[in-house]
Amino acid sequence: MLLIRCPYCEEERPELEFRNAGEAHIARPTNIAAESDDDFEKFFFIRANPKGVIYERWRHIHGCARFFNAVRDTVTDKFVMTYKAGEPKPAKLPGAAK
Amino acid sequence: MNAMFRISGAGRLSQAKTASFSFDDKSYTGIEGDTLASALLANGVHLVGRSFKYHRPRGFLSAGAEEPNALVQIVRDDARKTPNVRATVQELYDGLTANSQNRWPSLAFDVGAVNDLASPMFSAGFYYKTFMWPKWAWKDLYEPKIRAAAGLGVSPEKPDPDHYAARYAHCEVLVLGGGAAGIAAALAAAETGVRVILADEQAEFGGSLRFESGARIDGQQGYAWAQGAIAKLKAMDNVRVLSRTTAFGYYAQNFVGLVERVSDHLKSPGRDLARERLWQVRANRVVIATGAIERHMVFANNDRPGVMLASAARTYLNHYGVAVGRNVGVYTANDSAYAAAIDLKKAGVNIAAIVDLRDNPSGPVIDEARALGIEINFGRAVVSAGGKLRVSSMTVQPKNGGGGRTIPVDAILMSAGWTPSVHLFSQSRGKVAFNDETRRFVPGTYAQDCISVGACNGTDGLDATVDEAYAAGAKAAKEAGGKAGKSAKPKVDAGESWSRGMLGAAPGAGPGTTVKAFVDFQNDVTAKDIRQAVHEGMHSIEHVKRFTTNGMATDQGKTSNMHGLAIAAEELGKPIPQVGLTTFRAPYTPVTFGSIVGHARGALFDPTRRTATHGWAARQGAVFEDVGHWKRAWYFPKAGEDMHAAVNRECVTVRKVGGLFDASTLGKIEVVGPDAAKFMELLYTNPWEKLETGRCRYGIMLREDGFIYDDGVVGRLAPDRFHVTTTTGGAPRVMNHMEDYLQTEFPHLNVWLTSITEQWAVIAVQGPKSRDIIAPLVEGIDMSDEGMPHMSVREGKICGVPTRLFRMSFTGERGFEVNVPADYGEAVWEALWAEGQKHGATAYGTETMHVLRAEKGYIIVGQDTDGTVTPNDAGLDWAVGKKKTDFVGIRGLTRPDLVAKGRKQLVGLKTKDPKVVLEEGAQIVADPKQPIPMKMIGHVTSSYWSENCGRSIALALVAGGRDRMGQTLYVPMPNGTIEVEVTGMVFVDEKGERLNG
Ligand SMILES: [Zn+2]
């Protein structure tokens, strides 16, 4: 069972308290009704599914109930870091080269 | 009965405390502190089981958890029959009853042993090759026969009456293994004041100090030192010491699963004692001190009862005071077997000969053995063991061939060297590395905050082990925040050091031979089988493993993996690391389902939710159905009524008079805040800004893809307050969906969401008399049609308690839903019931609710929709705000596929024969005469007998359904094809006049 740091509670809590909520940094278009079919497809259906670092949303559903973002390695399952919803993609990951 | 092989003066058990037990219905006497294995050996019993495939007689290989052979069934009663218990681990208690497995009719004469004679048939890959075809034979012939023949043990006939405890624990330093290394590490860590947990699988701590008679630490014999150290640790407040506790799984972030056997060793455990306790430990640092496991020699008939590991014989002697034979042979490729021979010789057992594969070894143990007058043969091999139910001789030859001689023995002790127990390290995702010099896999790259010490780290010698372990324990504690403690490192005065050995088949069992030299005892895999697997094209160790089943038995190859790997590598002509090691997986040793399940069974498996009126409904004789976690009243049968009769009566009474229905399970969410209406506009398809306070609206919620996600009636209590209802099953996900959008997409909206499902009990009062039933109990609400029209909500009091009173209908009749604080739910229900009785109203359950709503064509999301249905498909286009510029799903609704012609649409169906009730889920076709497979154009979503209509009614999703009104379609069923007519969805009161009736 993983430990996940909730950026709102500011502590590590067991995985059981959390729920995954899909890929992060996919903003809903402001004028969504005017999106082309292709753009809507990219927004709603297409996901990265990388081997390695993934940016995803999690919810501390059995804790503070907040949604937040996380960086996780899909190979090792390790959480690299977590940060609050609305914050930009981190420019540099802890432990990354340079 | 005399325990003939108990040596007086040897071992640590008190001879005075005897325990009687039975094995295969024969009674024996052992001593408290024995294992079943040591007690049987004390009585001269070696034959304890039959092997899995060939039914060969088997005895004890080991004295510990790695045991592959001595699997027995322990029987306490009909409900407690535990199969596959390792006799070497099972502690003896007075009255213990054990039976051998995999034999018929008896252990000594087993019919299945014919498999041994027919063994050429059963060679590697036998299962894959033989049971391939014809296909029918697998199900009808092969599988039942194999299952009957392959069973190890039998299952209990009754549910497990024991209970299993579970605990979470946290510590700074978790030490796995309580031998010299683990104890030293725990002592060092404990000195710093941090929380330490020390766990060991044995009943007593000490690990190999149990048999290492030469070890001396801090001026004491090694085992005595261990007991003193454990007593010291137990006395410390920051240390938890767990014996009989196996670390079976090492998971992410130093999360380790341990199972503590609490009462399997007790005569009468009593009801208040758990059988086992699962510990889920999160540790800052883990010290792995799991030791090493001795390997057997791979030679012909090395599985005969009486042939065992040298360290096992030494344990039986030095700990249990049992000699495994009177005339013992030794076959070794390293030093450690000499120590066993020396200890036995000193205890008065004759050592027939030591056979050492090495050419000219030297060292103190060899000198000592020689000084004791033991015959030593260097450069020689045991090429075969004689005897059948018990070993009777060993045949010795020069290792490069030549004339041999046969030496009579009643036991053979063997040692091919020691394999570091890297199981837990490997489970932690650490990568092992092969040491070419010592020819063993040791921990290489670490993946977690753990450290291996002692024999499992490839560290040889007691002195080096204690040094390494003490330093590692201190370092781990310091890294985890411990303060520097006063160093009290144990001083090793004397210790034993194990040297290298050999891997793979011994001479006489090498390439070109076909003898039965077992590599994996439990799965009956021989050296020949592994070579054959390579010849047949299995070039990866993972393939060899699966083809031969080497290492795939319940012992997971603790003694066999390295031999198997070495034989495969030799055959492939590759170095061992290139052939690779198979993956170690949890559990380290078998774990009961009970310990994993713990208390989560029966009523505690899943929560049960009951509404406020549950007790009342139960007293009325209601039949309940499960809806998610909820128990809902399904129908209320009167005396003599079956379900059909009860539902018919309820349906008719509601439309004629009225009925009470508990709707409390509907999800309820309060949407509050200055931007509440804006938020509702975005989450539902309907317009909300202009909904007046005090009015209600039926709302539809979509996902972004345009499909219906949920629905429900929403009341506006104030400009900034909406009372939203959801489907019963949808409540949690709708709340999650709302929170998701509020927190991440629309965080600028000032809105607060609160789940109020459990706070309000909801009593639906429906039917022409509904107002008359409610009105006498209501205060402060004008209940006239003008004061409170259909689809309105009022706040006031009922029976003196606050209510949110909705005028709404899920039956098509005049109707109300009375929301009251849940604690008052039952009292208000009883008051309404009393009023209802005056008019002849009925209580009704979910079945009647379903029928009545279907008569009106009201959909149930999740029954009439399936996640691919749009509002238009469901005939609910009117609920989508045409002037709105945004809501969740607005873009999805215009996707090409969602606006294409021919989509499945919800329609009504009437069977041509009104008495026939369709099956929900039945498929619909346009032409019943077309060839199979037919083109299916839809399916039935809801179907009931409607007593009010005097016929069956149904709803269905049908391709282009609304253009098919009046058409005849067909529902092919096993008993014939049913003709149906496509109709509108409303079967009762098409104009909706009864809402005000
Ligand atoms: Zn939180």
The percentage of chain B sitting over the pLDDT mark of 70, rounded to a whole number, equals 96
pLDDT digits (tens, 9 = 90+) for B644-653: 999 999 999 9
pLDDT digits (tens, 9 = 90+) for B450-505: 999 999 999 999 999 999 999 999 999 999 999 987 778 999 999 987 768 999 99
- Helices and strands per DSSP (H, E), number in chain B: 25, 52
Q: How far apart are CA B98 and CA B872, in angstroms?
A: 69
Distance A67 CA to ligand 1 centre (A): 8
- Residue B581 C-alpha from the chain's centroid: 26
Distance from CA of B171 to the nearest CA of A (A): 15
Distance A23 CA to ligand 1 centre (A): 19
Cβ contacts of A32 on chain B, cutoff 8 Å:
886, 890-891
A1, A35, A85: residue with CB nearest B744: A85
Q: Chain A residue with minimal CA distance to B253?
A: A2
Beta carbons within 10 angstroms of residue B170's beta carbon: 12
Handedness of CA B815, B821, B822, B825 (dihedral sign): negative
Kindly state whether A95 is in contact with chain B, defined as any CB-CB distance less than 8 angstroms. Answer: no
What pLDDT band is residue A1 in, cutting at 50, 70 and 90? confident
Residue B2, pLDDT above cutoff 60:
no
Q: Chain B residue with minimal CA distance to A35?
A: B891
> Contact A59/B253, CB-based, under 8 Å?
no
According to DSSP, residue B444 is labeled: E
Q: Would you state the pLDDT for residue B484? A: 82
Tell me the three state secondary structure of residue B38. helix
| CATH dotted code for B164-292+420-494 | 3.50.50.60
Distance from CA of B705 to the nearest CA of A (A): 8
Q: Out of B17-31, B569-583, B770-784, B873-887, which region has the weakest mean confidence (pLDDT)?
A: B569-583
Distance from CA of A14 to the nearest CA of B (A): 10
Distance from CA of B895 to the nearest CA of A (A): 7
Q: Would you state the pLDDT for residue B107? A: 75
Interface residue of A18, A31, A40 to substitute, partner B, most B CBs within 10 Å: A40
Is 0.90 topped by the overall pTM? no
In chain B, helix, strand, coil percent, each to 5? Answer: 25, 30, 45
Q: How far apart are CA B840 and CA B653, in angstroms?
A: 8
B967-970, long-range: CB < 8 A, 24+ apart: B968/B912, B969/B909, B969/B924, B969/B925, B969/B926, B969/B937, B970/B924, B970/B925, B970/B926, B970/B927, B970/B928
Phi, psi angles (nearest 5°) of residue B689: -55, -40
Kindly state whether B445 is in contact with chain A, defined as any CB-CB distance less than 8 angstroms. Answer: no
Cβ contacts of A3 on chain B, cutoff 8 Å:
253, 282
pLDDT digits (tens, 9 = 90+) for A10-49: 999 999 999 999 999 999 999 999 999 999 999 999 999 9
Kindly state whether B618 is in contact with chain A, defined as any CB-CB distance less than 8 angstroms. Answer: no
Distance A59 CA to ligand 1 centre (A): 8
Cβ contacts of B895 on chain A, cutoff 8 Å:
37, 40
Q: Answer yes or no: are the C-beta atoms of A23 and A48 closer than 8 Å.
A: yes
Q: Out of B274-288, B514-528, B546-560, B692-706, which region has the weakest mean confidence (pLDDT)?
A: B546-560
Q: Would you state the pLDDT for residue A98? A: 43
Kindly indicate whether the domain formed by B297-415 is annotated with CATH number 3.20.20.70.
no
Kindly state whether B895 is in contact with chain A, defined as any CB-CB distance less than 8 angstroms. Answer: yes
Distance A13 CA to ligand 1 centre (A): 8
What pLDDT band is residue B1 in, cutting at 50, 70 and 90? very low
The percentage of chain B sitting over the pLDDT mark of 90, rounded to a whole number, equals 88
| CATH dotted code for B18-116 | 3.10.20.440
What pLDDT band is residue B270 in, cutting at 50, 70 and 90? confident
According to DSSP, residue B925 is labeled: B
Domain chopping of chain A, boundaries: 3-84
Q: Would you state the pLDDT for residue B552? A: 87
Beta carbons within 10 angstroms of residue B757's beta carbon: 20
Distance B889 CA to ligand 1 centre (A): 29
> Contact B739/A65, CB-based, under 8 Å?
yes
What pLDDT band is residue B103 in, cutting at 50, 70 and 90? confident
Q: Would you state the pLDDT for residue B486? A: 77
Fold category of A3-84 in CATH: Folate-binding fold (3.30.2270)
Q: Would you state the pLDDT for residue A96? A: 62
Residue B134, pLDDT above cutoff 70:
no
Task: CATH 1.10.10 in chain B: give the residue spans.
Answer: 509-573
Tell me the three state secondary structure of residue B718. strand
Q: Answer yes or no: are the C-beta atoms of B556 and B496 closer than 8 Å.
A: no
Across B236-257, average pLDDT? 97
pLDDT digits (tens, 9 = 90+) for B311-364: 999 999 999 999 999 999 999 999 999 999 999 999 999 999 999 999 999 999
Q: Would you state the pLDDT for residue B157? A: 85
Cβ contacts of B586 on chain A, cutoff 8 Å:
none
A67, A76, A78: residue with CB nearest B740: A67
A1, A27, A85: residue with CB nearest B255: A1
| DSSP assignment of B540-607 | SHHHHHHHH-TT-STTTTTTTHHHHHHHHHHHHT--HHHH--PPP-S-SS---HHHHHTT-SGGGSS-
Tell me the three state secondary structure of residue B919. coil
Q: Chain A residue with minimal CA distance to B893?
A: A33
Considering the four listed CATH numbers 3.40.109, 2.50.20, 1.10.10, 1.20.1070, the one that applies to the domain covering B509-573 is 1.10.10
Cβ contacts of A37 on chain B, cutoff 8 Å:
895-896
Mean of the per-residue pLDDT values of chain A: 94
Task: CATH 2.40.30.110 in chain B: give the residue spans.
Answer: 901-997
Q: Would you state the pLDDT for residue B136? A: 61
Q: Which CATH superfamily is domain B901-997 in?
A: Aminomethyltransferase beta-barrel domains (2.40.30.110)
Q: Would you state the pLDDT for residue B611? A: 97
Distance B687 CA to ligand 1 centre (A): 34
Residue B132, pLDDT above cutoff 60:
no
Q: Out of A91-95, B55-59, B74-78, B750-754, which region has the weakest mean confidence (pLDDT)?
A: A91-95
pLDDT digits (tens, 9 = 90+) for B669-722: 999 999 999 999 999 999 999 999 999 999 999 999 999 999 999 999 999 999
Distance from CA of B697 to the nearest CA of A (A): 24
Mean of the per-residue pLDDT values of chain B: 94
Q: Chain B residue with minimal CA distance to A4?
A: B253
> Which amino acid is residue B460, in one-letter code?
D
Cβ contacts of B891 on chain A, cutoff 8 Å:
32-33, 35, 40
Task: CATH 3.50.50.60 in chain B: give the residue spans.
Answer: 164-292+420-494, 297-415
* B128, burial (CB in 10 Å: exposed 0-12, middle 13-18, buried 19+): exposed
Residue B126, pLDDT above cutoff 70:
no
> Contact A33/B891, CB-based, under 8 Å?
yes
What pLDDT band is residue B128 in, cutting at 50, 70 and 90? low
pLDDT digits (tens, 9 = 90+) for B554-593: 888 999 999 999 999 999 999 999 998 878 899 999 999 9
Across B824-837, average pLDDT? 98
